[in-house]
Structures are given as C-alpha cells and as structure tokens.
C-alpha cells in the first residue's frame, strides 16, 4: 500500500503548501491593508509604547511632551499651555489621529523617520527594542505668542508674525482656541465627548484661522494694488491720481464710497491715498492698470498657491474673469478676493525684506533622541514679489500710514513702524473684519505681522486701525524688547 501512502504524503505536503502560501498572503501581500484598517489599534499601541518626541519653542520651552503612565498606553501626550500653542502643536489623539505639527512631523516625533536611522537605531533593529522619538524645535517665540493671544482677548481672530529676513514664523495664534490635552487623554469616552463638543462649538475653536481660513483682505490689499502700480514704472508715491468722493461702478447702478462716506479731496498722491486708505482712488487705479496686472502682482506675493510651513495653508485667491466693477472692488480687497492671515503677513514680510519673499517655516530643527541635529531649516527665497525700489517705496508709504494715517494706533515711541489697516466688509449686516499688517523697524525690520479680528470683535464701528493695530503694536513691542 505504498502507492496510496505516497499520494497521501503529497496531499499532506499540499496542505502545508497551502498554509505557507496563505501565510505569505496574510503577512506580506495583505499586511499593509490589514495594518491600515481603521479598527486596528495595534499601530496605536505601538506608537504609545515608545516615548514620543517633544515639541520645543525657539527659546527651549517644551510645549508638548510624553509622560509615562501606568495604564495600557505607556505614555500620555501632555501639552503645557495647550490653548496658546494649539494652532502650532495640534493634537495627538488615539481616536482622531493628529493635527498640525503632531501630524506633519509625526514620523520624527514617533521615531519612525528614516532620518533618525543611526548607530542607535541599528542596535535597536537587532534587539527589536522600540526607539524613542525625535524632538521638533519650533521657530515660535513663546513670549510673542502669549502677547498676541492675550491681546486677542478671546475675540475670534488670528495673528501671524514672521521674521522677514528668514521666513521663520515667530508667532502663530488663533482665537478662540482649545486645549489639546482633552483629546490626548487615554479615556476614549471623554475624548469623544470633548471632540463632539469642540466640533459643535459655534466659535469653531479647532479652526486654524491663521493658516486655514481665508477672509476678504479689504484695504490691506491696497498694498498689492499699489505694488502693481509702482511696478509698472508709471507711478511713484508722489504721482497724483484721481480720488473722487464716489466712484460709479460700471454696468451697474451702484457706486463705490470711501470709508464713512468721506471725501478724498478729488485727487491725491499715491502715498496720500494709501495713508488715508482712499477706496475710490485705489478702485480707479486698479481699473486703470487692469486686472491682469493685479492678478500678476497678487500671485507674485503668493496668492493662488499654498504655503507649507510644513502644514499646508489654505490658498489665498485673487478672482479671475472680472468685470470692470469687480476689478474695482477687487483692487480694494473686496468682491471675491480672499486671503489667509499668513498670506497677508507674507505680503508685509516681502515688502520688509526688500521685495524678496522668504519661505515661511515653523520648524527650525529636528533633533534625534540622542540630541543629534537631524535637520536644520535653511532660510530659502520663495520668490521676488517686487523690486527693491518698489519695496522701498511701499515701505515709505506704509510708514506714512502709521505716522499720520489710519494706523496711528500702532505707533511706537522711538521706532518707525510701517503698516496698513484693513476694514473688510464680509456679509450684509455683519460688522467688518479688522485687519492690520505691519513690519518694524522700517529699516532692517525684524518682524512682519498680520492681525485679523473677525467682525472687529463684534463691534460695528470697528476699524483695522482701532481694533487690529493695537494688537500688532503689542506684539511688535514685545519683539523689539528682546535683548
């Protein structure tokens, strides 16, 4: 009976062959799909098994760290001063994943990044010991961050401050904020509950207003219209342009008014028109130089593209296919023009930096768990927004705004501040958004800033000069006070 035994032996081998093939399917071919299944908590446990790296400010203050616990997840993610830094750190949750730096630099923090691979990691690979995560050192100055947050005083809005010469983001504040600690807890029920509460909150505290929300830029956009005009070579700050009391909008019965129905004196120099933020003058200037020039200048400042800081920003927009009426409205930052606070900070920064826009960044260094510097951000030029000459002319005009125009409340004793206000209509009956963009000192600036207060903080008479400029002033003062 050896023949059937041999056949049965072959059948048995076949059974094992099927098992081996199946094993390859499960553990190799389908492994990734299985690992990525939403219900798979193993990766999560794996992540919580190792010490996640710290997030540290430019001054060395640790704002996010992992502390050992006694429960099944070995480390608890903890944020010091959570609401203040939430738009930067983001959250790290067992249920909802992560956001902001926690998400953007996850591989470094979690310790899985290939760049962390060194001698230490090689030995870990052999022993199978879990490596520690690396640290992320930010460009954020906690003092400026705090000053901006305090100045916003809970009103809906955002502040972005950058170093114009490098692009380093010094402060990135959004208000109202939330405490990421509630989402990083290990209690699933409370996380879900708090998440639902945050999502349902009408003030939208988890929205990163600085990066991810666009607003009509209003009069701050006049900087771009002015830049477009100056760049044509046919204008200087002293060129006299028409500045009527009202400007009829072509093909419509509407007219464009100046703020509070004021007159601009019939005609004004470019510098005067900017100083008093004359709508009719810039409306007509925009129509004169044309939508193509406006579009080109807006794009040269970064509109219609996104920034990665490393979180990707929302795209600021200059609309296309404009009628003459719409061109006039767009030239003063209304109609469908939309900008993020980051975008307007970058406009100020580009002007401050002689027309060159530096790539904005939030992460200064990536440091390994062994304190070896893995990556250091080198400031890079993003593009040239305007020529050095035009930048100088714009600076001169912005200084005038603060000295004797709409932005006088941003004046700082002993320092020349260059700025531009904006009071942007956004919805019928709603209070306008208050904007202020600025940089200081006017010569060799160290800070460029954009402040936005949604609906002027609920005050119908609010203007950029009254509401937003003092916030910018406080932050600039804090920056200039630094040794």
Token pair of 224, please?
A: 């771009």
Q: 28 or 428, CB closer to another protein?
A: 28
* Smallest gap from residue 74 Cβ to another protein (A): 12
The rounded distance, in Å, linking the Cα atoms of 270 and 262 is 17
Parallel, antiparallel, or unpaired for β 157-162 and 363-367? unpaired
**Binding of another protein by 32 (CB under 8 A):** yes
| Catalytic, out of 219, 231, 313, 409 | 219
Residues 123-142 interacting with another protein (rule: CB under 8 A): 127-130
**Binding of another protein by 414 (CB under 8 A):** no
Bridge partners, 418 (sequence order) = 439
The rounded distance, in Å, linking the Cα atoms of 98 and 109 is 12
The rounded distance, in Å, linking the Cα atoms of 238 and 77 is 57
* Smallest gap from residue 33 Cβ to another protein (A): 8
Cα–Cα nearest to 219, from 253, 258, 269: 258
Q: 188 or 263, CB closer to another protein?
A: 188
**Binding of another protein by 404 (CB under 8 A):** no
Cβ–Cβ under 8 Å, residues 61 and 142: yes
Number of neighbours of residue 274 by Cβ within 10 angstroms = 27
% helix, strand, coil for the chain, step of 5:
45, 20, 35
Q: 39 or 202, CB closer to another protein?
A: 39
Q: 24 or 190, CB closer to another protein?
A: 24
**Binding of another protein by 240 (CB under 8 A):** no
Reported as type and span, the H/E element at residue 365 is: strand 363-367
Coil, helix or strand for 433?
strand
The rounded distance, in Å, linking the Cα atoms of 255 and 326 is 12
* Contact region with another protein (CB under 8 A), list: 8-16, 103-111, 230-238, 386-394: 8-16
Interface with another protein (CB under 8 A), residue from 41, 232, 251, 376: 41
Which residue reads 């080198």 in tokens? 378
* Smallest gap from residue 69 Cβ to another protein (A): 16
Residues 9-28 interacting with another protein (rule: CB under 8 A): 9, 11-13, 15-16, 18-20, 22-24, 26-28
**Binding of another protein by 253 (CB under 8 A):** no
**Binding of another protein by 40 (CB under 8 A):** yes
303: Cα separation from own chain's centroid? 14
Q: 115 or 129, CB closer to another protein?
A: 129
* Smallest gap from residue 37 Cβ to another protein (A): 7
**Binding of another protein by 70 (CB under 8 A):** no
Q: 41 or 254, CB closer to another protein?
A: 41
* Smallest gap from residue 127 Cβ to another protein (A): 7
* Smallest gap from residue 12 Cβ to another protein (A): 4
Instruction: Please work out the total of residues on this chain that contact another protein, with binding judged by CB under 8 A.
Output: 41
Instruction: Give how far Cα 292 sits from Cα of 110, 119, 180, 224, Å.
Output: 47, 56, 44, 13
**Binding of another protein by 95 (CB under 8 A):** no
**373-380, Cβ contacts within 8 angstroms, sequence gap of 24 or more:** 374/108, 374/113, 374/115, 374/116, 374/134, 375/115, 377/139, 377/168, 379/165, 379/166, 379/167, 379/168, 380/167
Which residue reads 């553990």 in tokens? 27
**Binding of another protein by 69 (CB under 8 A):** no
**Binding of another protein by 188 (CB under 8 A):** no
Which residue reads 């945050």 in tokens? 198
* Smallest gap from residue 361 Cβ to another protein (A): 35
Q: How far apart are the first and last CA of the chain?
A: 96
Q: 69 or 234, CB closer to another protein?
A: 69
* Smallest gap from residue 44 Cβ to another protein (A): 10
Cα–Cα nearest to 364, from 208, 209, 148, 162: 162
Q: 23 or 461, CB closer to another protein?
A: 23
**Binding of another protein by 320 (CB under 8 A):** no
Catalytic status, residue 80: no
Active-site residues, by number, are 219
Interface residues toward another protein, by CB under 8 A: 1-9, 11-13, 15-16, 18-20, 22-24, 26-28, 30-35, 37, 39-43, 45-46, 127-130
């Amino acid at each position: 009976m050896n023949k059937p035994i041999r056949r049965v032996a072959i059948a048995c081998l076949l059974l094992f062959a099927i098992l081996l093939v199946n094993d390859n399917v499960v553990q190799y071919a389908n492994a990734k799909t299985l690992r990525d299944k939403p219900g798979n908590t193993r990766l999560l446990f794996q992540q919580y098994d190792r010490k996640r790296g710290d997030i540290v400010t430019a001054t060395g203050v640790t704002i996010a760290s992992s502390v050992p616990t006694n429960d099944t997840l070995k480390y608890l993610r903890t944020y010091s001063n959570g609401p203040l830094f939430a738009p930067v750190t983001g959250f790290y949750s067992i249920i909802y994943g992560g956001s902001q730096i926690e998400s953007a630099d996850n591989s470094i923090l979690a310790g899985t990044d290939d760049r962390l691979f060194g001698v230490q990691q090689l030995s870990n690979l052999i022993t199978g010991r879990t490596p520690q995560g690396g640290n992320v050192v930010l460009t954020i100055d906690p003092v400026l961050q705090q000053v901006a947050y305090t100045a916003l005083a809970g009103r809906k809005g955002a502040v972005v401050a950058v170093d114009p010469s490098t692009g380093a983001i010094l402060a990135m504040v959004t208000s109202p904020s939330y405490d990421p600690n509630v989402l990083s807890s290990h209690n699933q029920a409370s996380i879900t509950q708090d998440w639902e509460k945050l999502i349902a909150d009408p003030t939208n505290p988890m929205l990163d207003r600085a990066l991810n929300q666009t607003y009509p830029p209003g009069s701050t956009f006049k900087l771009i219209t002015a830049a477009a005009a100056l760049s044509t070579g046919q204008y200087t700050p002293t060129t006299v342009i028409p500045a009527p009391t009202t400007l009829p909008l072509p093909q419509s019965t509407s007219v464009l008014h100046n703020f509070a129905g004021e007159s601009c004196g019939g005609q004004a120099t470019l510098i005067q028109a900017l100083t008093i933020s004359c709508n009719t003058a810039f409306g007509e200037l925009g129509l004169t130089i044309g939508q193509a020039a406006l579009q080109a200048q807006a794009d040269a400042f970064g509109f219609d593209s996104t920034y990665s800081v490393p979180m990707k920003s929302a795209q600021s927009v200059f609309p296309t296919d404009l009628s003459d009426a719409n061109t006039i409205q767009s030239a003063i930052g209304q109609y469908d023009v939309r900008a993020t606070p980051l975008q307007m900070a970058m406009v100020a920064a580009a002007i401050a930096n002689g027309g060159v826009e530096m790539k904005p960044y939030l992460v200064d260094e990536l440091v390994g768990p062994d304190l070896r510097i893995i990556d250091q951000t080198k400031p890079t030029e993003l593009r040239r927004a305007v020529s050095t000459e035009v930048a100088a002319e714009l600076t001169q005009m912005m200084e005038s705004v603060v000295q004797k125009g709409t932005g006088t409340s941003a004046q700082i004793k002993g320092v020349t501040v260059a700025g531009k206000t904006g009071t942007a209509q956004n919805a019928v009956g709603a209070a306008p958004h208050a904007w202020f963009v600025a940089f200081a000192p006017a010569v060799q600036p160290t800070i460029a800033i954009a402040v936005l207060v949604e609906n002027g903080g609920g005050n119908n008479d609010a203007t950029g000069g009254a509401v937003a400029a003092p916030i910018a002033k406080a932050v600039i003062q804090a920056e200039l006070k630094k040794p």
